[in-house]
Structure formats: structure tokens, C-alpha cells
Amino acid sequence: VEGYLQRIEEKKHLNAFVEVYADEAKLRAAEIQKKIINGNAGKLAGMILGIKDLICYKDHNISAGSKILENYNSIFSSTVVERILAEDAIIIGRQNCDEFAMGGSNENSYFGPVKNDADNTKVPGGSSGGSAVAVQADLCMASLGTDTGGSVRQPAAFCGVVGLKPTYGRVSRHGIIAYASSFDQVGPITKSVEDAALLLEVIAGHDDHDSTCSTAPVPAYSQQLSFTGKKRIAYLPETLNSDGLDPEIKAITENTIKRLIEEGHEVEPISFPYLDYVVPTYYILTMAESSSNLARYDGVHYGYRSQNAVDLESTYKKSRSEGFGDEVKRRILLGTFVLSAGHYDAFYGKAQKVRRLIREKTDEILENHDFILLPTTPGPAFGIGEKTDDPVVMYLADIFTVQASLAGIPAISLPVAISKSNLPLGIQFIGKRFGEAELLAFSKYVL
Ligand code: GLN
């Protein structure tokens, strides 16, 4: 713990942590050391973890990267935190993220941007940017992030680490600050596939507090990592021919295809005709859900309350105007627009139907194939400030991660290469619904 605390201090410029629990982590390490000596320590004994500032931890502040939750203290722990603590993990701090997990560069945080440790002028990705950089820079052994449309996988790719988004419903959302409830999942960000498997095994499984959480039994993922045999893998030609795909990312994806064929796997192109629709569909639906989820921040129930308000209505208006950042406001406005009576059918209703098509087509591909291989991101980590002028340019960078989110199926980003300019590059595998065990075992083989 002391080693990690020292590195956190040395790497303060990265801005990965919003708060570090130094004394608490030291005390806990001493307790867990005793348990290890007594032979009754849990599965994560000694694992030093960071949690995204979106995951509730009782009696600790949580702010979702937002001013509106400034100084808000959590009155209960999320199920995932309870589960990692029950297995003797040590939580070293809470990690910087985009405000309410809205973003793909960690530039939307009230606590300022996070820097990539490979190149401090580049973003770490988002929204779980602090969580990914913390693993990249050895500020903790692993992190728990959340992934709504790529927020675990994309920063993992930008930071050269492993990021897994589980099947929707595999992990409880109880105590996770909601962004878009039909998409949000907690996922591990780790150095190795083994660590991802172990963490998923601990956090997954039924929870009475989340009715969307599956009752399907949780396999011992960490014990099922040996892989033999041959797989059928689909790749989507549309992804490799898409505008703006970085040539080095195209090359590593094609090299992976070649390698897998050479090793005897069946890898074939399967057309996915909806690639142009995934980003608009994702953003219409997530903005709609977020506008509804964020209605609770009214200056009365939680966190920040404007000092300039004179009555109830101005309390709402001023607290929200002063408390939310620009990106969050943009999404609330667009979300309420697509849900409004006159526009509901044209936008929200239509997007739901397209989501269904995307999900059915993806499921159909996975009926005949074990995995889908595609890039995680169109390019490597971009410069801080490079995409902040045009939100649509930022949204389009999610083109390869949102398919699995819309379909609600598991996907993993694996760090397979370093670019000529020394930036990490990732590839992504999508697996079958609740097929995390197969996905993890194959990922270990690929890495
Ligand atoms: N970049 C995407 C967005 O802004 C994904 C965010 C996430 O997964 N939380 O919505």
C-alpha cells in the first residue's frame, strides 16, 4: 500500500484520483495481513483497487465528476463494493471520470482532465479515464469502471490495459450512479485477463437490489481460463473500411485476423449493415435515459444547492444551471427533446426499434460464431482539447464500442500493440450473451 501511495504522489500530475484513502488503506492492509497469516483471507486479499467516482462506497464522498454532487457522502455501499470488500480487497481511492460518465476523453470532469501516462499531452479516454490511467501507471493493481457505451473498453485501449464490459445484467447496478440504466454495467480494468476474470467472478451475480440483474449462476471465471480447440470468429468488413480508421489500428486488426487463421481458427467477414446507425441510436437512447435519471438532482435531495435561489423553482433552475457542466446540460436538453410528445415517435420510438434490429443482427452473427473481432477505437489516444469543439466528432469516436452496448452483450478490449508514436493500441472481441467465460479464456490465449 505504501508503494502505491508513493506512486500516486509521484504521478499526481495525471489527475487520476479525486480522493485517496491513504490511512484507511494502510489500516486495512494490516488487518488483511493478519487474515492471510491466519489462513482465512478472501479471494482478493491484498489486491489494491481503485473505484470510479460513480460507484458508491458507504461513508465516503462520491461526486460522479460533478459539481452538483460536491461534498455528497454516500449513505450506503454499492453491491460491487460490498463484494470486493467481502473478499478482502483494499480500496485505495476514488478515480476521476467524465461528469456522470458522459464522455470519451475524461475532459468533462469537474475535477479537471486526466492525462495519459504514455504521453501527457494525450487524453486517457473516458469516461473511466482515471481508472484506466491508474492501472497503466501502477497507481493501483486494478480498477472498477463503468461502461455504458465503451467507458471501460475505450480508456483501456488508450492506456494499454485490459477492459471488460460484462453482459447487461451480469453485474448489479445497485449503488452505481445512473447514466443510462438500460446500458450501464460495471467492468474491471486490469493489467491481465486473469485479474479481469477474478474480479468479474467476485462482483457478478444476482442481487435483490437490482431487478435487472440476472439470476444466472456465476462461473468460476478465473478457473476456466485454459483454452484449447478452434473457434469461429466473425469480423465486420464495414468496421475495417470505415472512414477515419487509423491505418495502424486497421493493420493490428488485420494482423490478428491473419494470425488467428494461421493458428487454425475459422475467421470470416460477415456484413453488419447497421454500422452507420449505431452511434445515433446509442446517443438518442442514452440521452433520453440520462435526462430522466438526472431529474433527481434538483438542489433539494442531493449535493449542491445554489445560494442565489429565492424560491422552489429558482432552487431547481439555479442549482442545476450552476451544478451541471456543459456536456451534461447538452444531453439533458437533447434527451428531453427526443422524449417530448411531439418528437417521441420520430426519435425515441424509432431508436428503440433500431436498437432491436442491431441487437437481433448481432445475436444472429453470434449464433454462428463464437466471437466478433473489431477495433476498440477508430484511432489511438488523441490530444487533450483536440475534439472538444465539436461534440459530434467526439461521439463518432464511439463507433466500435456501442454495438455491444446496444446489444447488451459482453466485450473486451485487449492491449495488443504500441503505435509508432508510442501510444497503446487495442482490439476488441465481442462474445455471446453471458459468454464471459469463453470470452476471457480466448482473450488470454490471444494476449
Ligand atoms: N463515450 C460514451 C458516452 O459519452 C460512452 C460513455 C460511457 O460508456 N459511460 O456516452
The closest residue, in CA terms, to atom 4 on ligand 1 is 103
Query: For position 237, what pLDDT does the model report?
Result: 97
- Give the count of beta carbons closer than 10 Å to the beta carbon of residue 336: 15
Calpha distance 334→290 (Å, rounded): 10
CA of 228 to the centre of ligand 1 (A): 35
0.90 exceeded by pTM: yes
Domain hosting residue 399, numbered range: 1-447
Does residue 104's CB lie within 6 angstroms of at least one atom of ligand 1? yes
Residues 407, 167 contacting (CB under 8 angstroms): no
CA of 208 to the centre of ligand 1 (A): 27
Query: For position 303, what pLDDT does the model report?
Result: 86
* Beta-sheet strand order (sheet of 411-418): 17-20, 90-95, 48-52, 142-147, 185-190, 162-165, 411-418, 424-430, 371-375, 232-235, 266-269
Does residue 42's CB lie within 6 angstroms of at least one atom of ligand 1? no
Buried b / exposed e across 401-422, counting CB within 10 Å, b at 16+? bbbbbbbbbbbbbbbbbebeee
Does residue 77's CB lie within 6 angstroms of at least one atom of ligand 1? no
Query: For position 243, what pLDDT does the model report?
Result: 87
Query: For position 353, what pLDDT does the model report?
Result: 98
Residues 225, 442 contacting (CB under 8 angstroms): no
Does residue 127's CB lie within 6 angstroms of at least one atom of ligand 1? yes
Q: Check if 105 is active-site.
A: no
CA of 210 to the centre of ligand 1 (A): 22
Q: Check if 52 is active-site.
A: yes
CA of 277 to the centre of ligand 1 (A): 16
Q: What is the value of ipTM here, to two decimals? A: 0.98
Could you list the mean pLDDT of each consecutive 10-residue stretch along the chain, which spans 447 residues? 98 98 98 97 97 98 97 96 98 98 98 98 98 98 98 98 98 98 98 98 98 98 96 98 95 98 98 98 98 96 93 97 98 98 96 98 98 98 96 96 98 98 98 98 98
Does residue 88's CB lie within 6 angstroms of at least one atom of ligand 1? no
Query: For position 351, what pLDDT does the model report?
Result: 98
Does residue 143's CB lie within 6 angstroms of at least one atom of ligand 1? no
Query: For position 212, what pLDDT does the model report?
Result: 98
Q: Exposed/middle/buried for 109, CB within 10 Å: 0-12, 13-18, 19+?
A: buried
Residues 169, 405 contacting (CB under 8 angstroms): no
Catalytic residue among 11, 52, 165, 444: 52
Domain of 337: which CATH number? 3.90.1300.10
Q: Check if 290 is active-site.
A: no
Total structural domains in the chain? 1
